[in-house]
A and B are shown apart, each in its own frame.
Chain A
Amino acid sequence: KQEVTQIPAALSVPEGENLVLNCSFTDSAIYNLQWFRQDPGKGLTSLLLIQSSQREQTSGRLNASLDKSSGRSTLYIAASQPGDSATYLCAVDSNYQLIWGAGTKLIIKP
């Protein structure tokens, strides 16, 4: 059974720092891995999608990598801003269902 883990559960950093969020999964047979952002009281917003055949995807200050063999993905955020404060969740598409991690709550201090 696919399990997704995100570490750390919470992270607080000063504005301007670069940071890395981690996601690990137990079964490497995935179709894709997705990173989402969730703001309090709101739904989820898709950030990046990495197909199983890809190694990384970039969007603006965000870069996500995927290493299927080790069951790991990272989300790199460059030059963090207070507006980046949110909970970041990763999800793996496994057998046409998304299996989610519990998220990392990120606080960027001005």
Chain B
Amino acid sequence: GAGVSQSPRYKVAKRGQDVALRCDPISGHVSLFWYQQALGQGPEFLTYFQNEAQLDKSGLPSDRFFAERPEGSVSTLKIQRTQQEDSAVYLCASSLTTTNEKLFFGSGTQLSVL
């Protein structure tokens, strides 16, 4: 595709459910980032992949959060036993290089935990 694609666009989950959020980066992009954006706030870094390698997961809030990019393209962010504080927009970004420069963002997945 022409841009970064995220699905689903909206997700409503009951507290305690597991969810999986998908990111399709731009083809050939080496770097992939996940961010969490709470309402009225800037994004906060969650994790970073360089190809299939997860080089930084220091931003994941708890061990309920897990991300993977097994073939170096599509990535999935999984949240287990969702809590109300997990409600946010989850943004994915990709870059052709190994740096933060020239990032392309998806439209995000808005997660609401009831």
Contact = CB atoms under 8 A, between A and B. Distances in A.
A and B assemble together: yes
B105 interface: yes
- Chain B: interface secondary structure? loop
Contacts of B93: 43-44
Contacts of A99: 45
B38 to A, nearest CB: 10
Nearest to A93: B100
Interface of B: 4, 33, 40-45, 48, 56, 58-59, 91, 93, 99-108
A96 B42 contact: no
Q: Chain A: interface residue count, which band?
A: 20 to 34
Contacts of B91: 43-44
B100 A44 contact: no
Interface stretch (A12-20, A58-66, A77-85, A100-108): A100-108
25 contacts: A31-B100, A32-B100, A41-B107, A43-B91, A43-B93, A43-B105, A44-B93, A44-B105, A46-B104, A89-B43, A93-B99, A96-B48, A97-B48, A97-B56, A97-B58, A97-B59, A98-B33, A98-B43, A98-B45, A98-B103, A99-B45, A100-B42, A101-B42, A102-B41, A103-B42
B62 to A, nearest CB: 18
Contact of A100 (B44, B99, B104): B44
